[in-house]
Amino acid sequence: MTESENANEPSPSPEADAAAAAAVPPKLPKIRLITKPALAPDAPEDSMWELIGGRDTFEKLVREFYVGVATDEVLLPMYPEQPDLEGAIQRLTGFLEQYWGGPNTYSEERGHPRLRMRHMPFKVNPDARDRWLHHMRAALDTLELPPLYDAEIWAYLDRAAHAMVNTFED
């Protein structure tokens, strides 16, 4: 503004400028309020599925897991198609991929997961659960994921396995 535009308005001193600026909070970039974990399974753009390597990583996890299951005298006999575990490998891989933000092929082929219901025909007692988790822990270790991703996936698997227990009988 020039003096001729508004002769009555005194031009503010540098001190006045500084005082005025201090009275107004500086403009900060907008901070998104985080209401869900950044890696929630419904965030396809940065899904865990993508972050850790997609199909290849999930299939490796499940194949390693079933290497362990194949040696397990309690778990192996539960699998209706054993010693052929290929179908089971495909189903678990598909389910985990879908859960962690990958393609929905599992539900397209198998419908709603209803995992607890699907496990009812099998005797999932604490021993079976711990064996399942033991083989899964070993399989997850082979992926050597960044610790944060490993911990997030493990927390889920541990919780899911505990939820799958359907009997406390030996």
Q: Residues interacting with ligand HEM, by CB under 6 A? A: 75, 78-80, 87-88, 91-92, 95, 110, 115, 118-119, 122, 124, 128-129, 132, 157, 160-161, 164
Measured from the CB atom, the residue of 6 and 107 that comes closer to ligand HEM is 107
Q: How far is CA 34 from the centre of its chain?
A: 16
Measured from the CB atom, the residue of 48 and 124 that comes closer to ligand HEM is 124
CB of 27 to ligand HEM, least distance (A): 46
- Identify which of 55, 118, 123 has the alpha carbon closest to the alpha carbon of residue 88: 118
CB of 28 to ligand HEM, least distance (A): 41
Q: How far is CA 26 from the centre of its chain?
A: 37
Measured from the CB atom, the residue of 55 and 118 that comes closer to ligand HEM is 118
Measured from the CB atom, the residue of 12 and 155 that comes closer to ligand HEM is 155
CB of 24 to ligand HEM, least distance (A): 53
CB of 128 to ligand HEM, least distance (A): 4
> String of b and e for 121-158 (b: at least 16 CB within 10 Å)?
eeebeeebbebbbebbeebbeebebeeebeeebbeebe
Residues 6+ apart with CB under 8 A from 125: 165, 167, 168, 169, 170
